[in-house]
Chains A and B, each alone.
Chain A
Amino acid sequence: MRAVTNLFRAREMPVFLALVVVVAIAGIANPAFLSAAGAIDILLGVAIVAILAVGQTFVIVMRHIDLSVGSLIGFTSFLIGDMYAQGYGLWGGLAAALAVGLAVGAANGFLVAYLKLPSLVVTLGALYIVRGVFNDYAFGRTITAAMVPPEVAWIGLNRLGGIPYLFLIGLSLVIISGLVMRRVKAARDLYAIGSNPAAAELAGIPVARRVFGAFVLNGAITGMAGAVMLGRFNAANANSGLALELIVIAACVVGGVTIAGGSGSVWGAFLGAILLQAITRTIGALGIPQFWQQAFNGGLIILAIAFDKYLNSRVKTTTIMGSHND
């Protein structure tokens, strides 16, 4: 009984319902949307954002943010192709992508956790630095289909039981991370840190180590996601991943990962990613001009924040704990 009430009370529920509504509208307006091909299109499109949203969730629940992921995933997707083309093979490329991801994550994490610099600024800097290094490295070159490791290309093209492998990779990451965030002590600490940073110190939580760890983890996930991106597009250039971080953060926020920290789940972020993607497709299916899509998604982000605010204000705030803005 409690499980059922919890399911309906969950913050993810309205996101899921919104998704159902969007799909229903699109399906009525254009039955082709509900076809297998239409669904696969959405699943394929959602994989990258879903994976990055998982990593970002680890960071946002701590009341931090990582803006460097778009530059980073673009760089590592280029790197995997380039390393393969130069004869280092698939594993050489993946190892390089992981190393770059870990390094950027560790640099972000060090500055935020130990030097106590604001993550918004640190990762904004990292966004430009990584993109700059990437542009210099790419130097006008592009990764073409011939330079993509065949295994990566295969995964990008094929399906298991009709479901794209890329989506399955994203889904398994969501399932594992969902379990981790709910059942692993260190991950629970991230929620505590985001909910009340000062109290986290007093409760004996190793705050700096946890913040560092979460940034490193996000860096590693993003670095490896370069392979997923390369498989999806079968190509890469110096503009790969440009502005992707904003879509990722939008997915998290729409999915109920509170930007003020302390609450939200990878499942929410995952649903948020699917919802944004479904809206994009729906707008196409309804024949509405594409530029409305961005405005619509923007409105959705604001709606999500307003909704969270409303949820919090419904709780009787007779104490000074009610405020998040201190």
Chain B
Amino acid sequence: MVLASSQGGPPVLEMVHVAKSFGGVRALVDANLTLYSGEAHALLGENGAGKSTLLKALAGVHKADAGEITLKGKPFEQGSTKDSIEQGIAVIYQEPSLFPDLTLAENVFIGRQLTNSGLVDWAAMEKASRELFNRLGVTLDPHQKARGISIADQQIVEIAKALSTDASVIVMDEPTAALSSKEVERLFTVVRNLREQGSAVVFVSHRLDEVFALCDRMTVMRDGSTVGSALISETSENEVVQLMVGREVSDLYPKLPPKIGEVVLEVHKLSLEGQFSDISFEVRAGEIFALAGLVGSGRSEVIRAIFGIDRYDSGSVTLNGKSLPTGKPAASMSAGIALVPEDRRQQGLFMASSIARNVAVTLLKKLSTWLLVRKRREESAAEQWATTLQLKFASLDDPVERLSGGNQQKVVLSKWLATEPQVLIVDEPTRGIDVGTKAEVHRLLSQKAQQGMAVVMVSSELPEVLGMADRIFVMREGTHMGTLNRDEADPEKIITLATGGVIAR
């Protein structure tokens, strides 16, 4: 793919020597980003590298302390989010930012509703958003409320919003993190169309395979500065990873040789109406057992039922030969099971509480005397884990919400590892976290398994499943399709099973 515009025309956006500090923390030191019309541009970097801060400066959420931003040849006015929108910047944030109670049409035009003699013109908005949805190749009802639509559809609405403002720069912050592979394909088609229509698309993703499949150029950031920019066609994944971490990543999946022991967890004919049926498996001490399948195949539902968050209709869960009651997370916890949920912001962390409190919350019994929690003990327990996990933080008293996504995930992990469980269940352990942290999380899981912990892992990332698991249990639409051993598994077999095909043996 050759870029006409990047060879000739002037850039649509230039950000030069942008700096930004929060208190004493320098989030951006020397950030540079150049965009041309009609390109898909990957912005890469580990969590905490400054990508989000740079994009927020563009979005009008933060004001840069220093640096120059030029948009379409004119100096860019840094004011409010409204100013940025009016200058042609559209940002599609990682966290959904739609209004669940408003219709899709109003979501597209919110803040800039179409009017007719001063009054909001609903018919015109519905017509215009229907046209936008058609242009994006999706059938969404503009009259429908946004509540409950899938993340993929939410993004389409956001993109329609960007189109309706005639945005010249469209930023997508990790748009694929929560999408199934089919939805990713649809998004890619949309991005390619946007590019052909002359928009500059900034694409933030931790999945390098996607970046290489979609983007034309890329910019890499590290520690608040831009460290490199290149045409995708002239670089390689290895080179990009090296730029991102500033060092060689020796092994992305540091799997240690397993020491498989006795059966610890036994799941027998577990069924829940409408979610999954007849799920049976055994997990042994020291084993990493992966549940693979497409998004929505019922994997998360199964582990929620095992842990006791949801009740199941029939079947049994046995730990060390003792049967666990259904629907009782407290019983599972005291029996020695821990669950690290997928949605860490809502289910895994107390965002406003300190790091120390978050780590220690599962240990309250151990740390208390006479019902009172001993703060010293809480801190020392947290400190120990912070060191083990190489957590990056200013103070253990800082609220967790100030940490980057990768570090938040480490806090969730340490919180549960601190209970020294026999069985650790992790749901998408590395979703949305950077390459470096990913490797650390993998190393940790592998270590814990070698020390005898049984690990049950739900993951949508095939390399992770193939790299980490001893056995792979593939599900589709709530049923078991097949189990693969580490030595026989390959991406093709997993996908065949997950999509309903049969493997010729």
Contacts and interface: CB of A to CB of B under 8 A. Distances in A.
Contact of B111 (A205, A262, A317): A205
Interface string B102-122: 100010001101010001100
B137 to A, nearest CB: 21
A185 B80 contact: no
A184 B122 CA distance: 11
A176 interface: no
A261 B113 CA distance: 20
Contact of B110 (A192, A206, A312): A192
Contacts, number: 102
Given A184-B119, A185-B120, A202-B59, A321 B98 contact: yes
A183 B115 CA distance: 9
Contacts of A185: 113, 115, 120
B147 interface: yes
B77 interface: no
Given A188-B113, A195-B100, A196-B98, A202 B91 contact: yes
A198 B111 CA distance: 14
A202 B147 contact: no
Given A205-B110, A316-B148, A321 B100 contact: yes
A288 interface: no
B449 to A, nearest CB: 30
Given A204-B80, A206-B82, A319-B150, A199 B343 contact: no
Nearest to B151: A319
A203 interface: yes
Contacts of A199: 96-99
Interface string B340-352: 0001001000000
Contacts of B354: none
B154 interface: yes
A194 B146 CA distance: 14
Contacts of B150: 318-319
A169 B149 CA distance: 41
A183 B120 contact: yes
A263 interface: yes
Nearest to B342: A320
B101 A262 contact: yes
A321 B148 contact: yes
A224 to B, nearest CB: 24
A318 B102 contact: no
B120 to A, nearest CB: 5
Given A191-B101, A204-B81, A204-B85, A320 B96 contact: yes
Nearest to A6: B143
A322 B296 CA distance: 17
Contacts of A315: 145, 147-148
B353 to A, nearest CB: 15
A1 B448 CA distance: 63
The interface size bin for chain B is 35 or more
A202 B93 contact: yes
A182 B143 CA distance: 15
A258 to B, nearest CB: 8
B96 A183 contact: no
A323 interface: yes
A203 B93 contact: no
Interface string B58-92: 01110000000000000000001111111000010
A185 B80 CA distance: 19
Contacts of A326: 346
A194 B101 contact: yes
Interface in A1-42: 2
A3 to B, nearest CB: 12
Contacts of A194: 101
A196 B346 contact: no
Interface string A235-278: 00000000000000000000000100111000000000000000
Contacts of B100: 195-196, 262, 321-322, 324
Nearest to B97: A199
Nearest to B56: A202
Contacts of A201: 81
A205 B113 CA distance: 12
A196 B99 contact: yes
A66 interface: no
A196 B97 contact: yes
Interface in A177-215: 182-185, 188-189, 191-192, 194-196, 198-206
Interface string A112-131: 00000000000000000000
B299 to A, nearest CB: 14
Contact of A204 (B93, B111, B115): B111
Nearest to A182: B120
Give the residue among B110, B143, B343 with the most A Cβ atoms within 10 A.
Answer: B110
Nearest to A317: B148
Given A184-B120, A202-B91, 18 more contacts: A185-B120, A191-B99, A192-B111, A195-B102, A199-B96, A203-B81, A203-B97, A203-B111, A204-B85, A205-B110, A261-B101, A262-B102, A315-B148, A319-B154, A321-B149, A322-B100, A322-B148, A326-B346
Closest 10 CB pairs of A and B: A204-B82, A262-B101, A199-B97, A315-B148, A195-B99, A183-B119, A195-B101, A263-B101, A204-B81, A183-B120
17 contacts: A2-B143, A191-B101, A192-B111, A195-B102, A196-B97, A203-B111, A204-B81, A204-B83, A258-B101, A261-B101, A262-B102, A315-B145, A317-B148, A319-B150, A319-B151, A321-B147, A323-B346
